[in-house]
Structure 1
Amino acid sequence: MFPDLIKIGDFTIHTYGVLVALGLIASYLTALKFGKKEGIDHKKIDNLFTFTVIGGIVGARVAYVLEHKDQFHSFIDYFAIWKGGIDWFGGFIGGGLVLIFLLWKYKIPILKIGDVAGISIIIGHAIGRIGCTCAGCCYGKPVPPDSPFRDLAIVFPKHEHGSAPAGIPLYPTQPAEAIGNFLIFGILFFLYKNKKFDGEILSVYLVLYGIERFLLEFWRGVTPPIPILGITWNQIVSLLMVLGGIALFIYGMRKKNEAVQTL
């Protein structure tokens, strides 16, 4: 864990914040690259990216507050995002709603932007998860002594800015998700070279990340499972992502085949 990148007296630059910023930059540059490939003006990409990020931050904070009500003791605590406390799925939903509204308002092809968004989100998310590893947030459950994953466990030291339980071997969920996200980015990058229909990249992103996150939730120690169901609400969203991605892929292939048949 390396939560503080620079610390001079009371002045501190947190590693998590720097890596999240780098992730946003990587997402933006990726959006510009593939937006150009889709024939979308860079000014539109700029506006969509800016307002989507704002919507994502708001959604991420709202979801975290709802999920961790016990951590907030004053009115200012709800807005103190600089202290940490955001939820990725909340950001995904919040940013997605803003993006859909803007695409509808400006009549921009949803599936083309969806493909750009899919490959842009995953690269930024991958870098952001490295930040999670440094900060100790989104940590895994304790690894049992007889587990074959014991040698891969992360033991976080006690730190004033650390979030993870100190001195306990935990499942390495943050670096595992970062590696998985980089692999998904590589797959999407390869697929984009021979994209068959609009929405293909988005559909593959939804399926692959949905599966990855559903499985990782079994080892994450942050979100408690829902009583009776035995799975977390993150896993429910993950399943919806997978189902939505499959439906979108089937829809795109049918549209493509119909277009071929009419030629």
Structure 2
Amino acid sequence: MRQVLFHIPLKADWLPAHFPLYLFVLAVGFILAALARLSARSIRQPAVREWLRGAASWLAGFGILAALVIWFTADKLPQGLPIYGFGMMLFLAFLLCTGLASRRAAREGIAREHVQDVAIWLFIGGLIGARITFLRAERNLAFTEMLQEFYKIWDGGIVLYGSVLGGLIAYFLAYLLVFRKYGLATLRLADVLAPSIAVGLCLGRFGCFLNGCCYGQVACPSCPVYAVHFPLSAPAREGLVEQGYQTPAGFTLAPARQQPKEIGARVGKVDPRSDAYRAGLRDGDLILRVGYGAAPNSTRIKDCNIQVIENEKTNRITPPVDVLTHCLVFNWPRGETQLRLTVKHAANGEEEELPPIAPRTLGLHPTQLYEVVSMALLFLVLTAYYPLRRRPGQVIAVLMAGYGAHR
């Protein structure tokens, strides 16, 4: 599982101090666009000339967009721009599925442009439907809260039946507004798209595996399965903690009557088999700070001081133990897997920063990978059946029946 695949640097030490990275990217974009534009003038083939002119516009636009992103986010993201595994899989699924469907459509006498337009409508409509369904049905958020959380697709929260409903609504709108005048038959087009939908489901579920969402049940020790242990930042860990299957990081907290009122959160019991125990945490220790990151003085480290918080506007007092719960359970950053604890030992009263630990979940069935395999097999079945179909709609019917049997 890897929620963050890599980071794109937003600062360049190799550039002169008076020449920031966003100006360099902007200059490169305009230079490449100018070269493409000049090359188009010397090309005689109309198709190649138009392609170069279009490429010049895209290069200039990309340079401007990239420069703006670097300008606004360089100070806010010292690690660089994170590329999330779930979002990358969605991007690859869109490109690959559109390409496969376009090739199949061309063999059936359907213009590639029509399929590409349909793919955009389905992708946007499906994404909107999936997010609305998740935020409303799964998390029961109000409308204003949904607007604040809607764009955070890198956190997961893509509900399949919501994407199906959104995609269907988007297609019928597109058909009424655009595609009806081209005489496209819905069932014929659905057959063309069916194998690509299986590929999209395959890549989407692999994205779920990278993100740690859509996980399976707890695997028993004797189950004949390769159980997956997800890290601290995975949604799987949040779900298991909320359902009471495990602790957040290998230890419990003492009852409220034993908790300090000003600074620190008292540890209840520590699992002797946990990373926290091996790092030196013991029953009754007082946790003073939690943070993420592997090395002291690293830019990746962010500390959360465990002390009472008083809100002067609402006169609300948050005790230290609730501050720890908020930091560790409900507000842990995506992609961060290592936990650092600064504690005051109950045995000798000494304060110590423990070595970083990497808590993991209980072993879970990798249902995401089960679906990756089954959707890959279903794609092969649909590809083999496609030339054998006798009437429109049969291929998409096989997709629906096969996916229903898989679920």
TM-score normalised by the chain length of structure 1: 0.73
Percent identity over the alignment is 27
Greater relative contact order (Cα 8 A, min sep 6): structure 1 or 2?
Answer: 1
Q: Which residue of the other structure, out of 99, 109, 121, is the alignment partner of 2:185?
A: 109
Name the amino acid aligned to 2:151: A
Q: Which residue of 1 aligns with 2:229?
A: 155
1:66-121: CA deviations, max 9, x gaps? 22225779354342334432212211121122223433551420111110121111
Match of 1:21, SS state, is helix
| Contact 1:123-1:181 at 8 Å conserved across structures | yes
Q: Do the aligned partners of residues 18 and 175 (structure 1) sit closer, same or farther apart at CA in structure 2, a change above 3 Å counting?
A: same
Q: Which residue of 2 aligns with 1:242?
A: none
Q: Which residue of 1 aligns with 2:95?
A: 25
| 2:86 counterpart of 1:16 | yes
Larger CA Rg, structure 1 vs 2: 2
Match of 1:183, SS state, is helix
Aligned residues: 209
Q: Which residue of 2 aligns with 1:142?
A: 218
Q: Which residue of 1 aligns with 2:339?
A: none
Distance 1:71 1:172 in 2: 29
| 2:154 counterpart of 1:80 | no
Q: Which residue of 1 aligns with 2:63?
A: none
Q: Do the aligned partners of residues 18 and 46 (structure 1) sit closer, same or farther apart at CA in structure 2, a change above 3 Å counting?
A: same
Q: Runs of 5+ in structure 1 lacking a partner?
A: 214-263
Name the amino acid aligned to 1:6: F
Distance 2:366 2:146 in 1: 34
Q: Do the aligned partners of residues 100 and 172 (structure 1) sit closer, same or farther apart at CA in structure 2, a change above 3 Å counting?
A: same
Distance 2:379 2:109 in 1: 21
Q: Which residue of the other structure, out of 351, 372, 378, is the alignment partner of 1:184?
A: 378
Name the amino acid aligned to 1:58: I
Q: Runs of 5+ in structure 2 lacking a partner?
A: 10-78, 238-359
Match of 1:74, SS state, is helix
| Contact 1:61-1:81 at 8 Å conserved across structures | no
Q: Which residue of the other structure, out of 156, 162, 165, is the alignment partner of 1:93?
A: 165
Q: Which residue of 2 aligns with 1:61?
A: 131
| Contact 2:87-2:154 at 8 Å conserved across structures | no
Structure with the higher helix share, 1 or 2? 1
RMSD: 2.0
Match of 1:25, SS state, is helix
Distance 2:167 2:146 in 1: 24
Q: Do the aligned partners of residues 101 and 74 (structure 1) sit closer, same or farther apart at CA in structure 2, a change above 3 Å counting?
A: closer
Q: List aligned pairs for 1:167-182, cutoff 5 A.
A: 167-182=361-376
Name the amino acid aligned to 2:214: C
Distance 1:5 1:86 in 2: 19
Q: Which residue of 2 aligns with 1:241?
A: none
Name the amino acid aligned to 1:155: H
1:138-157: CA deviations, max 9, x gaps? 111111234333xx211112
Distance 2:145 2:135 in 1: 12
Name the amino acid aligned to 1:170: L
